[in-house]
Structure 1
Amino acid sequence: MSRTQSPQGAARAGRALPQAAAALVVVLLLLVIVRLPWAGDLGMHAATVQRLSHNLFHPGNPLVDADTPSPYYSPWMLVLGLVAKVTGLSVFVVLRLAALVGLSLLVTGVWRYVRTLSAHRAAPALALLSLLFLWGPLLFNWSGFLGLNSLALTVSYPSVFALGLTFHFWAWVTRATREEAAWGRWLWLGVLWALVLLCHQFTGVVASLGALAMVIAARPARPVLLRLAGALALGMLLLWLWPYYDFFSLFSAGADLEAIHKPLYEDLPARFGLVLLGVAALVLRWRRDRWDPLVLFFLLGVLVFAAGGLSGHYSWGRALPAALIPAQLAAALEVVSAGRRAVRAGWACVLGAALVVGAWTQVGTLGYVTGRAALPSVVAAKYRTPWVGYHWITPWVKYGDVVMARTTPARQIPAYGAYTVAPGYPDVFLKDSARREDAVARYFAAGTSAADRAGILRQYDVKWVVGPRSLAGPGLRKVTVGPASQVLYRVQP
Structure 2
Amino acid sequence: MAAPRAATALPRWLLPLAVLPAVLLLVLLLLVVVRLPWAGDLGIHAATVERLRHSLGDPGNPLVDADTPSPYYSPWTLLLGAVARASGLSVFVVLRLGALVALGLLVTGVWRYVRTLSAHRAAPALALLCLLLLWGTVPFTWSGFLGLHSLALTVAYPSVFALGLAFHLWAWLARAPRDGGRTGWGTWAGLGALWAVVLLCHQFTGVVASLGALATVLAARPARAVTARTAAAAVAGLAVLWLWPYYDFFALFGAGDGLEAVHRPLYAGLPGRFGLVLLGVAALAPRLRRDRRDPLVLFFALGLLVSAAGGLSGHYSWGRALPAALIPAQLAAALEAVEAGRRAVRAAWACLLAGALAVGAWTQAGTLGYVVDRGVLPGPVAAKYRPPWAGYHWITPWVRYGDVVMARTFPSRQIPAYGAYTVAPGYPDFFLPDEERRAAAVRRYFAAGTPPDERREILREYRVRWVVDRGPAPRTEPGLRVVARGPGGQVLYAVTGAG
Q: Bin the TM-score by the shorter chain.
A: over 0.9
- Are 1:173 and 1:211, in contact at CA under 8 Å, matched by a contact in 2? yes
Q: 1:97 offset after TM fit, Å?
A: 0.4
Candidates 186, 191, 195, aligned match of 2:197: 195
- Are 1:34 and 1:96, in contact at CA under 8 Å, matched by a contact in 2? yes
- Are 2:467 and 2:494, in contact at CA under 8 Å, matched by a contact in 1? yes
| TM-score scaled by length of structure 2 | 0.96
Matched, 1:478 2:482: yes
Give the residue type in structure 2 aligned to 1:229. Answer: A
Matched, 1:214 2:216: yes
Q: Percent identity?
A: 73
- 5 Å-filtered alignment, 1:81-480, equals 81-179=81-179, 180=181, 181-468=183-470, 469-480=473-484
My pick for the range that moved more, 461-470 or 202-211, is 461-470
Aligned to 1:4: none
Q: Deviations along 1:312-370, whole A, 9 cap, x unmatched?
A: 11111100000000000000000111001111011000000000101111000000000
4+ residue stretches of structure 1 with deviation over 4 A? Answer: none
How many aligned positions are there? 486
- Are 2:483 and 2:494, in contact at CA under 8 Å, matched by a contact in 1? yes
Give the secondary-structure state (helix, strand or coil) at the position aligned to 1:471.
Answer: coil
Compare the two structures and name the one with the higher helix fraction: 1
CA RMSD between the two structures: 1.0
Aligned to 1:29: 29
Q: Deviations along 1:408-464, whole A, 9 cap, x unmatched?
A: 100000000000000000000001101111111111111112111111111100000
- Are 1:472 and 1:478, in contact at CA under 8 Å, matched by a contact in 2? no
Distance (whole Å) between structure 2 residues aligned to residue 166 and residue 95 of structure 1: 20
Distance (whole Å) between structure 1 residues aligned to residue 315 and residue 415 of structure 2: 31
Give the residue type in structure 2 aligned to 1:295. Answer: V
Q: Deviations along 1:100-154, whole A, 9 cap, x unmatched?
A: 0000000000000000000000000000000000000011000000000000000
Distance (whole Å) between structure 1 residues aligned to residue 439 and residue 357 of structure 2: 43
Contiguous gaps of at least 5 residues in structure 1:
1-6
Distance (whole Å) between structure 1 residues aligned to residue 229 and residue 112 of structure 2: 23
Distance (whole Å) between structure 2 residues aligned to residue 66 and residue 210 of structure 1: 37
Give the secondary-structure state (helix, strand or coil) at the position aligned to 1:11.
Answer: coil
- Are 2:474 and 2:491, in contact at CA under 8 Å, matched by a contact in 1? no
- Are 1:114 and 1:124, in contact at CA under 8 Å, matched by a contact in 2? yes
Q: 1:371 offset after TM fit, Å?
A: 2.2
Q: 1:218 offset after TM fit, Å?
A: 0.9
| TM-score scaled by length of structure 1 | 0.98
Give the secondary-structure state (helix, strand or coil) at the position aligned to 2:481.
Answer: strand
Distance (whole Å) between structure 1 residues aligned to residue 401 and residue 419 of structure 2: 4
Contiguous gaps of at least 5 residues in structure 2:
1-7
Distance (whole Å) between structure 1 residues aligned to residue 359 and residue 487 of structure 2: 36
Aligned to 2:54: 54
Matched, 1:492 2:490: no
Distance (whole Å) between structure 1 residues aligned to residue 360 and residue 273 of structure 2: 10
Q: 1:473 offset after TM fit, Å?
A: 2.4
Q: Deviations along 1:206-256, whole A, 9 cap, x unmatched?
A: 000001001111111111110011111011001000000000000011111
My pick for the range that moved more, 217-226 or 174-183, is 174-183
Distance (whole Å) between structure 2 residues aligned to residue 374 and residue 474 of structure 1: 48
- 5 Å-filtered alignment, 1:2-81, equals 11-81=11-81
Distance (whole Å) between structure 1 residues aligned to residue 78 and residue 358 of structure 2: 40
Distance (whole Å) between structure 2 residues aligned to residue 12 and residue 467 of structure 1: 61
Q: Deviations along 1:152-196, whole A, 9 cap, x unmatched?
A: 000010000000000000000000122232212211101100110
Give the secondary-structure state (helix, strand or coil) at the position aligned to 2:178.
Answer: helix
